[in-house]
Structure 1
Amino acid sequence: MPQDQWYYCLVHHAVEPAEGCKAIERLGPYPTREEAEQALQIAQERNEEWDNDPRFNDEDEDDDEGGSAFDALKP
């Protein structure tokens, strides 16, 4: 694993190198320490993009149909 990868630890709220907490407790990898420091903001922006992406917007569908979010991806 390259040493120039950085992670944001969700437990300690800190940036750490590859040798850190368990993967499930971290966001990343990021190519720079500075980018890892912005991990929560990056995640929020990506979530907002997904929430507003019409390919994944199922407001017009009935939620009681039992389908999954992945059904929209089927051809």
Structure 2
Amino acid sequence: MPESVADGRFEVQSDCMNDSGPGGGGYFWCLRDSRVETGEDVCPAQYRLGPYATADEATRALETVEKRNAEWDAEDARWTGEVS
């Protein structure tokens, strides 16, 4: 029987975001203010990326987004047969 992808354990948003919201720790990148925020001093959820483990990771949030988007676009192209 083929192995199911569902048999593995994958991190999902709820796994990595527990206790990481405002007041719960973690670092966020604020898209509105272009700065790292933490603790109770964070912008509304629609303007922030994160949480990240360090301030340095939060500073590179937009680079991380661009890299992941490029990887996903390439995977989509392979999936649809656009690229070999």
Same fold (TM over 0.5): yes
- Of structures 1 and 2, the one with the larger relative CO (CA 8 A, separation 6+) is 1
Residue 18 of structure 1, CA deviation: 3.9
Q: Cα–Cα, structure 1 residues 12 and 59, in superposed 2: closer, same or farther, change >3 Å? A: farther
Q: Structure 1: where are the runs of 5+ without partners?
A: 61-75
Q: How does 1:1-75 map to 2 (within 5 A)?
A: 1=19, 2-3=24-25, 5-19=26-40, 20-53=42-75, 56-57=76-77, 58=80
Over the matched positions of the two proteins, sequence identity in percent amounts to: 39
Uncovered stretches (5+) of structure 2, i.e. residues with no partner = 1-18
Moved over 4 A (4+): none
The amino acid across from 1:24 in the alignment is Q
Q: What amino acid maps onto 1:35 in structure 2?
A: E
Count of matched residue pairs = 57
